[in-house]
């Protein structure tokens, strides 16, 4: 089991760094959010702050380096590098699924980043199926072992159905989440894994006491696609065929933000196909609190290390500041009030 999980994590890293695992036809629909230009913005670009409050801490910008990896030597290298960048830049940082720690406690060190991220918001991560079968105190210990500020409980049924050795029993998810919300002392974030959260699921979660969600919508990395490629590589024709059919399954990121943002959550994190500062601004305008970057950051890191990641985020911050100026908006959180036009495809999803 340990070897299988380690190989899967290594495959995930390799595919996300270099493979063609994006959605093929479905986009995030963030491109259908159009801001109205303000020719008299009455703001000083040099004085604009991107500060954003998240879990009681102030981020320098509404940015999360989102959940990616853990469980291998290479994953440790990536986690330490990106967590260090999050610390230097004042962003939040998300760990990949800590399931590997459950199976092999000796892999704990591959998730531990507090040595380089002493003040960073660190998001732990466990699957709802794994959490269902564990007492709350074990999950609390998992979070404590990595110094987590909050714990992501991820939902990924589409990915698991295609994964040759994936989970197939998804019962009692809502009960499990309610238990964790009530019994853990740290914030619980319920996050999808590339297929988005619907209005219905958001309503169920809110009714169970959930205050924080990560939509992780479709249009960026297809985790069904990742597992489809893995299935093809090991010769599992049935899983590969299923994955090919459902490669583009999910709710576009922009539509998911719209569907959940009116539910009353304290925090809505937008991940799934966020690639630049314009995407961040659009997500915030739709109701997100912050936006998460994953595959573009990993690709920049593998192309040219820390320096490339810093250049990437320098550009993201410049782009976000430009949107604030061009809409006459004083802060990222105020973008939700900026005049905008929604395209027809996003409008159709928003009412679905």
Report if residue 310 sits inside a domain. yes
pLDDT at 8: 62
Distance CA 55, CA 119 (A): 13
Report if residue 24 sits inside a domain. no
Q: What are the C-alpha distances in Å from 60 to residues 24, 275, 276, 329?
A: 34, 18, 16, 17
How does pLDDT run across 142-194, given as a tens digit for each residue? 999 999 999 999 999 999 999 988 899 999 999 999 999 999 999 999 999 99
Report if residue 10 sits inside a domain. yes
Q: What are the C-alpha distances in Å from 64 to residues 59, 95, 262?
A: 9, 11, 22
Q: Quick one: pLDDT band at residue 228, thresholds 50, 70, 90? A: very high
Q: What are the C-alpha distances in Å from 327 to residues 110, 277, 296, 318?
A: 43, 14, 26, 14
The mean of the pLDDT values for the chain is 94
Report if residue 39 sits inside a domain. yes
Report if residue 303 sits inside a domain. yes
**Six-digit token string for 302:** 């593998």
Q: Quick one: pLDDT band at residue 70, thresholds 50, 70, 90? A: confident
Host domain of residue 180: 2-19+29-350
- Least Cα distance to 94 among 113, 115, 108, 109 occurs for 113
Q: Quick one: pLDDT band at residue 2, thresholds 50, 70, 90? A: low
How does pLDDT run across 254-278, given as a tens digit for each residue? 999 999 999 999 999 999 999 999 9
Higher pLDDT, 77 or 71: 77
Percent of the chain scored above 90 by pLDDT?
A: 88
pLDDT at 146: 97
Q: Quick one: pLDDT band at residue 6, thresholds 50, 70, 90? A: low
- Least Cα distance to 37 among 337, 342, 330, 327 occurs for 327
Average pLDDT over residues 18-41: 93
The domain total for the chain is: 1
Identify the burial level of 191 via C-beta atoms within 10 angstroms of its C-beta, where 0-12 means exposed, 13-18 middle and 19 or more buried: buried
Q: What are the C-alpha distances in Å from 84 to residues 76, 81, 101, 117, 326?
A: 12, 5, 21, 6, 32
- Where do the H-state alpha helices sit in 247-294? 253-261, 277-286
pLDDT at 12: 64
Least confident of 1-5, 11-15, 56-60, 74-78: 1-5
CATH of the domain at 109: 3.20.20.70
Model's pTM, two decimal places?
Answer: 0.95
How does pLDDT run across 7-19, given as a tens digit for each residue? 666 766 667 776 6
């Amino acid at each position: 089991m340990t070897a299988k999980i380690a190989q899967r994590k290594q495959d995930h890293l390799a595919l996300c760094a270099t493979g063609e695992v994006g959605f093929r036809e479905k986009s995030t629909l963030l491109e259908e959010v159009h801001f109205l230009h303000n020719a008299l913005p009455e703001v000083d670009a040099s004085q604009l702050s991107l500060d954003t409050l998240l879990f009681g801490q102030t981020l320098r910008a509404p940015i999360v380096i989102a959940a990616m990896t853990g469980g291998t030597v290479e994953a440790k290298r990536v986690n330490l590098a990106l967590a260090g960048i999050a610390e230097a830049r004042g962003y939040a940082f998300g760990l990949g699924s800590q399931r590997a720690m459950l199976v092999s406690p000796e892999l704990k060190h591959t998730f531990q980043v507090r040595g380089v991220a002493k003040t960073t918001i660190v998001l732990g991560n466990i699957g709802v199926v794994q959490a269902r079968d564990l007492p709350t105190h074990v999950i609390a210990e998992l979070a404590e072992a990595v110094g987590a500020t909050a714990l992501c409980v991820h939902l990924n049924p589409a990915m698991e159905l295609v994964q040759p050795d994936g989970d197939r029993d998804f019962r009692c998810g809502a009960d499990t989440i309610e238990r964790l919300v009530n019994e853990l002392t740290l914030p619980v974030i319920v996050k999808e894994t590339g297929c988005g959260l619907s209005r219905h699921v958001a309503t169920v979660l809110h009714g169970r006491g959930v205050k924080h969600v990560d939509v992780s919508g479709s249009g960026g990395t297809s985790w069904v696609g990742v597992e489809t490629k893995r299935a093809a590589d090991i010769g599992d024709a049935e899983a590969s065929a299923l994955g090919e059919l459902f490669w583009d399954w999910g709710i576009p990121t922009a539509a998911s933000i719209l569907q959940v943002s009116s539910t009353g959550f304290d925090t809505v994190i937008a991940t799934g196909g966020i690639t630049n500062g314009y995407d961040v601004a659009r997500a915030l305008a739709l109701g997100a609190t912050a936006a998460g970057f994953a595959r573009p950051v990993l690709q920049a890191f593998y192309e040219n290390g820390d320096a490339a990641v810093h250049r990437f985020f320098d550009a993201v911050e410049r782009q976000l500041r430009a949107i604030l100026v061009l809409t006459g908006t004083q802060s990222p959180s105020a973008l939700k009030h900026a005049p905008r036009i929604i395209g027809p495809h996003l409008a159709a999803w928003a009412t679905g």
